[in-house]
A and B are shown apart, each in its own frame.
Chain A
């Protein structure tokens, strides 16, 4: 196993997949050990397609995907992956006890004690059918099941979408707890950028099937900024100092890579901090890239 595969739980290189009207083009990224990686992008950007390809649920056209240094098509790697999709996939007639019995016959490393501990912690009743659970309870159950077989890698595909802030916060806490082991990783796809901003170490933005950036979250939220100025002052701003600009009715907004440097250089303009959502919107809704 090479050094790159050793330090990453997922390694994706030049991944391509073509559908009618949509294509994932040369997607490359990595999920380092001990890190939470947020995967953001608008609906239809290619997040779920990428995850389905990683899980070998879709057939890739080209490229390589390695999980724990092994090709992703080897089904034994899934023993150490916990997966949570955007909906609860358990049959509504089941109880949590049924799920315990079922998974103990699926995962070699299924830990019933740990599962029961989590159920008690999240107050999920064992004798009630899942059909009577709220959406938040169902998602908590899905995450508990993903954790109870002691995986090294958690993959969450829009798992917090549609949940209230309290449940989302509980789930994020659980992820932070999971990541305390430095061999563990979380790959967390969401379009709720505030969740990603809260817990991710790295952020990958995908747009129209292409990776736009793969950056450390702190670099994005502490250094990126939005420079706002009037149209006449915009002419004085060097294209080297911003990434994208967009023209509104009253002003011009530029996404800058180093807000402090921009503040020092351009005294008479406003430079605000950029939240992850702002950065995503700049790239997704468009603007004019300084290279254009």
Chain B
């Protein structure tokens, strides 16, 4: 399983497209310039989405190499194959959290404001969005193929649009960060657990 986690994390890192970087940097710069004190939060959302989508792109890369066929000839149980995917997604959360904090610091410097609630929410999104996204997309991949996840990826771009136009940031003045993280932890655990089980069942199917 260790080898597959290494493989997935390496594919994630190595298959980052330069065009994606340019688009994300451009979008983040625009957001930081335009949005003001919540710019860091929105930029974190974009970055977390990019991490989530990049995870899916690494699965597309598996599909391109017909990796599954090769992997099935290895001494690995179906569960460990699928679990390694989920663990490799967890490994990428470090990147998402680090990016989120960096973007919020940048936003604080630009807007000359600091709000611990915004930082807390940004880190929450940095964890929650990639996990939610892969939690949805991985079962789709194992049951219906990579194309279904690519389709789902397309819907993800509507998220920031919705976020910006409704201007309904889910931050309350009496926000308790501890309860927020606790809630997020429970939700992530449930979604990931269910998603893992569905994915294992999907992977186990043999023609």
Chain A residues with CB under 8 Å of B69's CB are: 57, 85, 89
Q: Is the CB of B11 within 8 A of A91?
A: yes
Given A90-B65, A98-B10, are A59 and B73 also a contact pair (CB < 8 Å)?
no
Contact of B65 among A83, A91, A98, A108 (CB under 8 A): A91
Cα distance, A277 to B16, chains bound together (Å) = 48
Q: Is A103 an interface residue (CB 8 A)?
A: yes
- With A56-B72, A58-B207, A85-B70 known to touch, is A105 a contact of B6 (CB < 8 Å)? yes
Chain B nearest CB: distance from A76 CB in Å? 6
**A102, B206: Cβ atoms closer than 8 Å:** no
B67 touches A91 (CB 8 A): yes
Closest to A109 in B: B75
Q: How many residues of B contact A (CB 8 A)?
A: 27
What's the least CB distance linking A10 to chain B, in Å? Answer: 14
Q: Within the assembled complex, what's the spacing in Å between the Cα atoms of A90 and B64?
A: 10
Chain A residue nearest to B207 (CB atoms) is: A58
Residues 29-86 of B contacting A (Cβ, < 8 Å): 61-62, 64-67, 69-70, 72-77
Tell me whether A106 and B66 are in contact in the complex, defined as CB-CB below 8 angstroms, given that A59-B207, A93-B11 are known contacts: no
In whole angstroms, what is the CA distance A101 to B15 when docked?
18
Q: With a CB–CB cut-off of 8 A, which chain B residues contact A89?
A: 65-67, 69-70
Contacts A59-B206, A59-B207, A93-B14 given: A106-B67 contact, CB under 8 Å?
no
* B170 lies within 8 A of chain A by Cβ: no
Q: For the complex, is A201 an interface residue (Cβ under 8 Å from B)?
A: no
Smallest Cβ distance from B201 to chain A, in angstroms?
A: 15
B-facing residues in A78-116 (Cβ within 8 Å): 78-79, 81, 83, 85, 87, 89-94, 98, 101-108
Give the contacting residue for B75; candidates A58, A78, A98; CB below 8 A: A78
Check: A55 CB closer than 8 A to any chain B CB.
Answer: yes
**Per-residue B-contact encoding for A48-69, CB less than 8 Å = 1, 0 else:** 0000000111110000000000
Pairwise interchain contact A58-B206, C-beta atoms closer than 8 A: yes
Q: Which chain B residue shows the least CB distance to A106?
A: B3
Considering the chains assembled together, what is the distance between the CA atoms of A81 and B76 in angstroms? 12
> Given A87-B66, A93-B14, A105-B5, A56–B206 Cβ distance below 8 Å?
yes
A75 within 8 A of B: yes
The interface residues of chain A lying within 8 Å CB-to-CB of B5 are 105
Cβ of B184 under 8 Å from chain A: no
- State the main secondary structure of chain A at its contact with B: loop
Q: Are B1 and A105 in contact (CB under 8 A)?
A: yes
Chain A residue contacts of B11, Cβ below 8 A: 91, 93-94
In the bound complex, CA of A83 to CA of B66 (Å)? 14
For the complex, give the distance between the alpha carbons of A98 and B10 in Å: 8
Residue B188 CB within 8 A of the other chain: no
Flag if B3 contacts A92 (CB, 8 Å). Answer: no
CB-CB under 8 A from A105, the residues of chain B are 1-6
In the complex, chain B residues whose CB is within 8 Å of the CB of A92? 65
Q: For the complex, give the distance between the alpha carbons of A89 and B64 in Å.
A: 9
By the criterion CB–CB under 8 Å, are A75 and B65 in contact? no
The answer, among B66, B75, B77, B207, for a CB contact under 8 Å with A79, is B75
Q: Give the residues from 143 to 179 in chain A that come closer than 8 angstroms, CB to CB, to chain B.
A: 155
Bound together, the chains give a CA A79 to CA B7 distance in angstroms of: 18
Expressed in whole angstroms, the Cα–Cα distance for A103 and B70 within the complex equals 12
Asked whether, in the complex, the Cβ of A102 is within 8 Å of the Cβ of B6, the reply is yes
Min CB distance B198 to A, Å, is 20
Contacts of A94 in B (CB 8 A): 10-11, 14
Please report the C-alpha to C-alpha distance between residue A104 and residue B2 in the assembled complex, in whole angstroms.
Answer: 9
**CA distance in complex: A98, B64 (Å):** 18
The answer to whether residues A101 and B6 also contact, given A89-B66, A91-B65, A92-B65 and a CB cut-off of 8 A, is yes
Other A-B pairs, 16, CB within 8 Å; known A89-B65, A91-B14: A59-B206, A75-B77, A87-B66, A89-B69, A93-B14, A93-B15, A94-B11, A98-B7, A102-B6, A102-B10, A104-B3, A105-B3, A106-B4, A107-B75, A108-B75, A155-B73
Which residue numbers of A lie inside 8 Å of B, CB to CB? 55-59, 75-79, 81, 83, 85, 87, 89-94, 98, 101-108, 155
What are 19 A-B pairs at a CB distance below 8 A?
Answer: A58-B207, A75-B75, A75-B76, A78-B75, A78-B76, A79-B75, A85-B70, A89-B65, A89-B69, A90-B65, A93-B10, A93-B14, A102-B3, A102-B4, A102-B6, A104-B3, A105-B4, A107-B74, A155-B73
7 A-B pairs with the lowest CB-CB distances in the bound complex, closest first? A105-B3, A105-B2, A89-B70, A106-B3, A59-B206, A83-B73, A93-B14
